[in-house]
């Protein structure tokens, strides 16, 4: 049998010079997706990846079938009450996408909880994404919202993967599309109170949402009006409304500073009012709550406080303290209802919910509080869909690494939970067959790094198990424990699955994030390597059976980690990886560059930042070493991390690795019609996961379920 020969990218020298440092880059030409030579190279890489892994097709098919067979393909979500309707989503066996529905709400009648596939009396289909996606290889929604009077539906469609959407409005009384005037919009949209106007965002050439527009439904887009234009290139924006639909809201934010503007939804042509002018380094979120505003802000505390202000507030001087974060807590957001408010926070490294009772006799309007309690060692909890403010029963969503996603009604008066739905897992799933735990690795500087582990019940740290380690570690995004049907295919093959909660994420509060950004970014990478070392040294994973996976900024983490410790990992998967970080952050014309300077620093202006980024950027630091097997996956239409980055990185790793291509291949796989999130349909997504995990599983000799050791 002929051994496949890896593609060899042509070397065309491109010179980059900054701060007296001259860099010759032989692969920078792999940038223009319209260039036939670039497309030919990506095609050759895809062919090579398929050829090298051809013998894994049975394993890929097995993993796909395991995912499919455990999934209840015909299902529906928990119906949610809003006005005169119950709203819910359906899925059907064989269909890639969901179907959005509603049914009449009868006063005094209980919530409809039909069996999957059965009919609901009076059901109306709002949007069938399968019909919308017909004829397209990719489909995604960027907005889906119903007008306050429940007569109109606005939704935004992307069929390329470039996250630029076409806006559509449907009259739900006639089931007819009544507006297709607006294209090329960003995420999100919101109706005015009367449903006559629609507010949406537009993105600039760097894919930054920089404008909010007002569109009168049924008119030409040429008549649309700019409501706000953001000239500070560090700031993003989004649009929304209050829970009671009384207020339209524009949220603006950089990585360190924010500002909120609100407008009476009954006066859509009026001027938005600034709640508090932006102050450098101060972030705040606003929740209208009747006659006042509730505000989570970091003006006085790194981990944020809760304040209140009059509904007509225009300055932070009007904020009055309501609740301060205690040690080990990080306030993240507030949701207001008629009888309570619910604070979302992090507490001791996990997510938490705190209920604040309303008390009109208090100046703040609140008195008394309690936290929701759960008895698992690692988990994630948050509010579900609660569109109505006049309720004392809240939808709460809970999951862990062994408990499937579970939706409860929580009675804030009796403090009792009522189970509404637990994600079905077919095939006799038994959570007692798996165990989860919290482990702590010790970083190079002595910092303790938390890890969440799940593994087959009864497994002992005897140094024999295969393991997969993953992390993210940027933007204060937390990698919280979650349940995964797909992950069961790894656990059944004896894997120990670990999430490293490295610095740069938000798991342990704002300081945890600050210690993994800017001039402290390397902590993210060394934390990950220390977590890998801990898995091996503690016996949870065999020395030669550890694989790793990360996506986007987590792909940067993977690239940096294998430069630091190339022999620690048997194989890695870097998905849409930000591996040529310095080149990207040096070019303000590229998407997201300027808004990222507060995360990474500005290497254009600061030679110190330039030198620091150059010292860790994966592409810059590939060297002669016995690298692990590498799979890099990307999408041609990704607007966040260009395919160029993994294409260049793979070429350089392949050029420098001393490992044999037969045992430790270096592969690049590009989806030619997809975006940052990969393939869009659920079956396509499952096949993509099966392809990627088959590669990792094979590398550690765990293809068979009876070969755990």
Catalytic center residues: 552, 638, 676
Task: Tokens 């995964």: give the residue.
Answer: 484
**Among the listed residues 123, 212, 132, the one whose alpha carbon sits nearest the alpha carbon of residue 180:** 132
The set of long-range contacts for 610-613, using a CB threshold of 8 Å and a minimum separation of 24, is 610/18, 610/19, 610/21, 610/582, 610/586, 611/19, 611/21, 612/519, 612/521, 613/521, 613/581, 613/582, 613/585
Q: Closest Cα partner for 396 from 405, 407, 386, 387?
A: 407
Residue 530: CB partners within 8 Å, gap ≥ 6? 441, 442, 443, 444, 449
- Say how far apart CA 577 and CA 553 lie, in whole Å: 6
Phi/psi for 433 (5° steps) reads -80, 0
Q: What is the SS3 assignment for 552-598?
A: CHHHHHHHHHHHHCCCCCCEEEEECCCCCHHHHHCCCCCCCHHHHHH
Residue-by-residue DSSP string for 511-560: HHHHTTSGGGTHHHHHHHHHHHHHHHHTTSS-TT-EEEEEETHHHHHHHH
Query: Could you tell me where the beta strands, DSSP code E, fall in 68-196?
Result: 75-76, 80-82, 85-91, 99-104, 124-128, 140-146, 152-158, 166-171, 176-179, 189-191
* Closest residue by Cα to residue 454 from 477, 479, 483: 483
**CA-only gyration radius of the chain, Å:** 26
Q: How far apart are CA 178 and CA 170, in angstroms?
A: 6
Residues paired with 435 in a beta bridge: 455
Residue 587 vs residues 584, 592, 602, 618: alpha-carbon distances, Å: 5, 10, 10, 17
| Rounded distance between C-alpha atoms, residue 573 and residue 634, angstroms | 11
The H-or-E segment that residue 215 falls in is strand 209-216
Give CA–CA dist 572/524, Å, rounded: 17
C-alpha to C-alpha distance for 579 and 651, rounded to whole angstroms: 12
The secondary structure of residue 634, as a DSSP letter, is E
In this structure, the number of other CB atoms found within 10 A of the CB of residue 128 comes to 17
Distance CA 709, CA 707 (A): 5
Q: Which two tokens stand for residue 403?
A: 């408990």
């Amino acid at each position: 049998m002929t051994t496949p020969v890896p593609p060899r990218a042509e070397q065309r020298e491109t010179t980059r010079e900054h701060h007296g440092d001259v860099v010759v880059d032989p692969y920078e030409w792999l940038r223009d997706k319209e260039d036939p030579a670039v497309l030919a190279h990506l095609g050759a890489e895809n062919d090579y990846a398929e050829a090298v892994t051809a013998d894994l097709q049975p394993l890929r098919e097995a993993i796909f079938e395991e995912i499919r067979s455990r999934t209840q393909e015909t299902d529906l979500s928990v119906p949610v009450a809003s006005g005169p309707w119950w709203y819910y989503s359906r899925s059907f066996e064989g269909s890639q996408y969901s179907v959005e529905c509603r049914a009449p709400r009868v006063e005094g009648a209980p919530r409809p909880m039909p069996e999957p596939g059965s009919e609901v009396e009076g059901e109306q289909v709002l949007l069938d994404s399968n019909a919308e996606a017909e004829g397209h290889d990719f489909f995604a929604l960027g907005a889906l919202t119903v007008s306050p009077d429940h007569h109109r539906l606005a939704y935004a469609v992307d069929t390329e993967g470039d996250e630029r959407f076409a806006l559509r409005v449907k009259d739900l009384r006639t089931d007819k599309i009544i507006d297709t005037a607006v294209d090329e919009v960003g995420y999100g949209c919101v109706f005015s109170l009367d449903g006559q106007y629609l507010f949406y965002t537009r993105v600039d050439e760097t894919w930054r949402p920089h404008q909010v527009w007002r569109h009168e439904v049924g008119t030409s887009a040429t008549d649309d009006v700019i409501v706000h234009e953001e000239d500070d290139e560090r700031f993003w924006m989004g649009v929304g409304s209050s829970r009671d639909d009384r207020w339209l809201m524009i949220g603006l934010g950089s990585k360190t500073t924010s500002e909120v503007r609100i407008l009476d939804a009954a006066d859509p042509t009026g001027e938005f009012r600034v709640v508090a002018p932006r102050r450098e380094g101060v972030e705040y979120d606003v929740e209208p709550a009747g006659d006042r505003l509730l505000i989570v802000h970091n003006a006085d505390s790194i981990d944020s406080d809760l304040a209140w202000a009059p509904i007509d507030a225009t300055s932070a001087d009007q904020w009055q303290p309501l609740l301060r974060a205690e040690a080990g807590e990080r306030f993240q957001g507030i949701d207001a209802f008629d009888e309570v408010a619910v604070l979302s926070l992090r507490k001791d490294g996990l997510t938490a919910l705190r209920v604040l009772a309303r008390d009109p006799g208090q100046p703040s309007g609140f008195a008394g509080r309690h936290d929701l309690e759960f008895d698992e060692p690692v988990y994630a909890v948050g509010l579900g869909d609660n569109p109505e403010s006049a309720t004392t029963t809240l939808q709460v969503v809970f999951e862990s690494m062994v408990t499937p996603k579970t939706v409860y009604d929580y009675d804030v008066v009796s403090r009792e939970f009522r189970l509404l739905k637990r994600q079905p897992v077919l095939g006799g799933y038994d959570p007692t067959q798996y165990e989860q735990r919290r482990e702590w690795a010790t970083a190079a500087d002595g910092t303790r790094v938390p890890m969440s582990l799940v593994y087959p019940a009864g497994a002992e740290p005897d140094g024999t198990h295969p393991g997969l380690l993953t992390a993210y570690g940027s933007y204060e995004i937390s990698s919280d424990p979650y349940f995964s049907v797909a992950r069961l295919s790894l656990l059944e093959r004896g894997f120990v699955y670990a999430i490293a909660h490295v610095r740069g994420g938000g798991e342990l509060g704002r300081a945890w994030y600050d210690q993994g950004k800017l001039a402290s970014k390397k902590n993210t990478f060394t934390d990950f390597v220390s977590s890998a070392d801990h898995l091996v040294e503690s016996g949870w994973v065999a020395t030669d059976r550890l694989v790793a996976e990360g996506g986007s900024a987590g792909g940067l983490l993977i690239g940096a980690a294998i430069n630091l410790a190339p022999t620690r990992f048997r194989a890695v998967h870097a998905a849409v990886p930000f591996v040529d970080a310095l080149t990207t952050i040096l070019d303000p014309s590229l998407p997201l560059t300027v808004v990222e300077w507060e995360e990474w620093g500005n290497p254009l202006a600061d030679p110190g930042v330039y030198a620091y980024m150059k010292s860790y950027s994966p592409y810059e630091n590939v060297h002669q070493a016995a690298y692990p097997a590498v799979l890099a996956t990307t999408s041609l239409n990704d607007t966040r991390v260009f395919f160029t980055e993994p294409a260049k990185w793979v070429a350089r790793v392949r050029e420098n690795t001393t490992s044999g291509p037969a045992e430790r291949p270096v592969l690049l796989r590009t989806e030619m019609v997809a975006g940052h999130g990969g393939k869009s349909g659920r079956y396509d997504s499952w096949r993509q996961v099966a392809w990627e995990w088959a590669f990792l599983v094979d590398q550690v000799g765990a293809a068979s379920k009876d070969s755990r050791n």
